[in-house]
Amino acid sequence: MDQSKIRNFCIIAHIDHGKSTLADRIIQMTGLLTEREMQDQVLDNMDLERERGITIKAQTVRTIYKADDGEEYTFNLIDTPGHVDFNYEVSRSLAACDGAVLVVDATQGVEAQTLGNVYLALDHDLEVVPVINKVDLPSADPERVADEIENVIGIEAMEAPRVSAKTGENVRAVLEEIVNKLPAPDGDPDLPLKALIFDSLYDSYRGVIVFCRVMDGVMKRGTKVKMVATGAVFEVVEVGFMGPGRLIPCEELRAGDVGYMTASIKEIRLSRVGDTITDADRPCAEALPGYKEPQPMVYCGIYPADSARYPDLRDALEKLQLNDAALQYEPENSTALGFGFRCGFLGLLHLDVITQRLEREYDLDLVTTAPSVIYKIHKTDGTVIDLTNPSNLPEPSEIEYMEEPMVRAEVMVTTEYIGSIMTLCQERRGVYEGTNYIEANRAVLTYKLPLNEIIYDFFDALKSRSRGYASFDYEPIGYERSELVKLDILVNHEAVDALSFIVYAPSAYERGSKMCEKLKKEIPRQLFDIPIQAAIGSKIIARETVRQMRKDVLAKCYGGDISRKRKLLEKQKEGKKKMRQIGNVEVPKDAFLNVLKLGEE
């Protein structure tokens, strides 16, 4: 394939601006195969695929476009995850592209993620062509939005196609822009193999399917390849393209191509996103830049609600990790919750995705502890430890000082909500860095914030305080020294390890009282008074009491209807079974979960 006829690109957009609609529309308006491939009866292979019952939905697709100039172009539309948790994955996907189509909603204009994504694309030296979408809506104002793109982002937008991905209006103009404005790849097929892994998925039939962009060289069946970062060596079993909804095997992938390869790889960890594939016998001089080990940002304990299902949880995590190199876990033991795992995630969304999959796909009932960031503990002996579980905090006398991870957050908001968003950021210990008015009535606020303050519910709070108008993006900017303490929650004078957390010292009292209040509501009254306390070390800072039960009796005559009486008692007994014993206190199994669910009140 002539490289000049290839376009490797992605679509970038703020959420809901029409990225997937446009992608679907492009796929619909282009073809599956080149004319030559059709003659080569590629279709036969595909039928075979179908017979084997394998259909793989790769989010990245190759389509064929016959342009106005009469030539056939290969479009590789590379998918980028749309959430800050996956910034690294986004950056690797962008690295696989030569250009980007920027979609902006004609009714909304530029948003925080638009900016974030554009800057990321520009960082990767991608050519960016803007498209103004949703012009079919009555409130569309494409001229204003074009203006905004030029002023805010600084790219030429007056000529940008005005389209409606929904109706298909003018989408062909986008395809022509891709052909005419986005650059073709310029790799060298004669150089040693150098390919970038930008995604992979685990398939139980063929092992890991690696999605990659070949920068230089050629890869084909039988090529002995080496993953530079992990050092793993494999013999390629199959290479091919990602057609819409199916894989299309081919002879070889050459410089400039985007495709997949399989090599009976058993574990996804051995083919990490961002790693470089090279020829084991003729390696490239240096790996592609930008590779990073997957770095969990958020940790929490995950426990089976029914402790007998611990082995099931372990198996499920093992299976999920096959498909998710960023998921980390190690066994831990909690006196309150029994056996479980401390798990590391890229962010809260990632955490959500994993816990939901565990519950849905593996039918597990889980208790998760409060998510925590990784704190750096500088000990008096000069060593530094990364703290992922508050229970492991060393004695105060051994701690010189502690650091917490910080992020730089950009919040884009209409001017009427600037005040309330500033208040929110203040409340979350934000340090104001600046306001940049991008229009008369819209601004980007920049704050430095502790990551810990945004992992819980920052996004929800932001939405509710701006009536949904604020959007937000952030990037980690390292660690800073902070005044942190460990807060313990004691039930009937016993610390519940699952409820311990690290907190900014000046907020400890408030957080502690809130936890006590919430827990009080969750623990049913028992035969004796139960103190619930929040403590820092041995100092009690907040206290509530679950008063002893006064009354539990039915002074009513049911006559001979004993079954009704029995049902009532059985229900009571059943309720008892749902309790966990903490010391001699019975605590409902979901009490911790409910307490840990921190919401904007």
Partner 1 sequence: MKDALGLYLHFPFCVKKCAYCDFLSAPAEEGVRRAYAKAMIAEIQAAGRRLAEEAPETRVDTVFLGGGTPSVMPADTLFSVFEALKQNFSIEEDAEITMEVNPGTLGEEMLSFIKARVNRVSVGLQGTHEEELRILGRIHSYEDFLSSFEALRMAGVRNLSVDLMSALPGQTEKMWEEDLIRVISQSPEHISAYSLIIEEGTPFYEAYARGAFSGRYALPDEETERRMYYRTKEILESSAYERYEISNYARAGFASRHNLRYWERRDYLGFGIGAASLFRHVRWNNTRDLKEYLSGDYARRGEERLSRKAEMEEFMFLGLRKAAGVSFSEFESCFGAAMTTVYGKILERHLEEGLLARKGERVFLTERGFDLANSVMAAYLFD
- Binding site residues, partner 1, CB under 8 A: 527, 549-557, 559-563, 565-566, 568-570, 572-573, 576
**Residue nearer to partner 1 on the CB measure, 434 or 575:** 575
**Contact yes or no for 26/174 (Cβ under 8 A):** yes
Q: Which run of H or E residues covers position 105?
A: strand 99-105
Pairing between β-strand 6-13 and β-strand 72-78 as defined by DSSP bridges: parallel
Residue count of the chain: 601
**Residue nearer to partner 1 on the CB measure, 231 or 559:** 559
- The CA distance from 557 to 528, in Å, is 29
Query: Nearest approach, Cβ of 340 to partner 1 (angstroms)?
Result: 25
**Residue nearer to partner 1 on the CB measure, 216 or 586:** 586
Among residues 533, 532, 529, the alpha carbon closest in space to that of 548 is found at: 529
What dihedral do alpha carbons 106, 108, 110, 113 form, nearest 10°? -120
**Residue nearer to partner 1 on the CB measure, 205 or 528:** 528
User: Helix or strand or coil: residue 82?
Assistant: coil
- The CA distance from 198 to 211, in Å, is 6
As given in the structure block, the two tokens for residue 153 are: 């982002």
As given in the structure block, the two tokens for residue 438 are: 């991008």
**Residue nearer to partner 1 on the CB measure, 52 or 551:** 551
Query: Nearest approach, Cβ of 76 to partner 1 (angstroms)?
Result: 60
Query: Nearest approach, Cβ of 527 to partner 1 (angstroms)?
Result: 6
**Residue nearer to partner 1 on the CB measure, 285 or 554:** 554
- Residues with Cβ within 8 Å of residue 485, at least 6 apart in sequence: 502, 503, 505, 508, 536
Cα Dmax for the chain: 94
**Residue nearer to partner 1 on the CB measure, 41 or 548:** 548
Residue 377 identity (one-letter amino acid): I
**Residue nearer to partner 1 on the CB measure, 539 or 573:** 573
Query: Nearest approach, Cβ of 584 to partner 1 (angstroms)?
Result: 11
Query: Nearest approach, Cβ of 586 to partner 1 (angstroms)?
Result: 11
**Tokens 């390292």, residue?**
478
Query: Nearest approach, Cβ of 572 to partner 1 (angstroms)?
Result: 4
**Residue nearer to partner 1 on the CB measure, 464 or 526:** 526
Pairing between β-strand 99-105 and β-strand 127-133 as defined by DSSP bridges: parallel
Q: Which run of H or E residues covers position 10?
A: strand 6-13
For 479, other C-beta atoms within 10 Å of its C-beta total: 18
**Residue nearer to partner 1 on the CB measure, 547 or 597:** 547
Query: Nearest approach, Cβ of 576 to partner 1 (angstroms)?
Result: 7
Pairing between β-strand 298-304 and β-strand 372-373 as defined by DSSP bridges: antiparallel
Query: Nearest approach, Cβ of 519 to partner 1 (angstroms)?
Result: 21
**Residue nearer to partner 1 on the CB measure, 180 or 572:** 572
Among residues 194, 244, 220, 211, the alpha carbon closest in space to that of 56 is found at: 244
- Residues with Cβ within 8 Å of residue 582, at least 6 apart in sequence: 336, 491, 492, 494, 496
Query: Nearest approach, Cβ of 583 to partner 1 (angstroms)?
Result: 16
Strand partners, 278: 194, 226
Query: Nearest approach, Cβ of 525 to partner 1 (angstroms)?
Result: 10
**Contact yes or no for 224/281 (Cβ under 8 A):** yes
- The CA distance from 527 to 534, in Å, is 22
- Cα 567-573-579 angle, rounded to 5 deg: 145
Please count the CA atoms within 13 angstroms of the CA of 226 that sit on its side-chain side.
13
Among residues 182, 268, 240, 212, the alpha carbon closest in space to that of 78 is found at: 212
Q: Which run of H or E residues covers position 564?
A: helix 562-577
**Residue nearer to partner 1 on the CB measure, 415 or 548:** 548
Among residues 199, 204, 206, 202, the alpha carbon closest in space to that of 221 is found at: 206
Query: Nearest approach, Cβ of 578 to partner 1 (angstroms)?
Result: 13
Query: Nearest approach, Cβ of 335 to partner 1 (angstroms)?
Result: 23
Please count the CA atoms within 13 angstroms of the CA of 596 that sit on its side-chain side.
22
Query: Nearest approach, Cβ of 528 to partner 1 (angstroms)?
Result: 9
**Residue nearer to partner 1 on the CB measure, 262 or 492:** 492
Query: Nearest approach, Cβ of 543 to partner 1 (angstroms)?
Result: 22
For residue 164, give the DSSP letter: B
**Residue nearer to partner 1 on the CB measure, 220 or 525:** 525
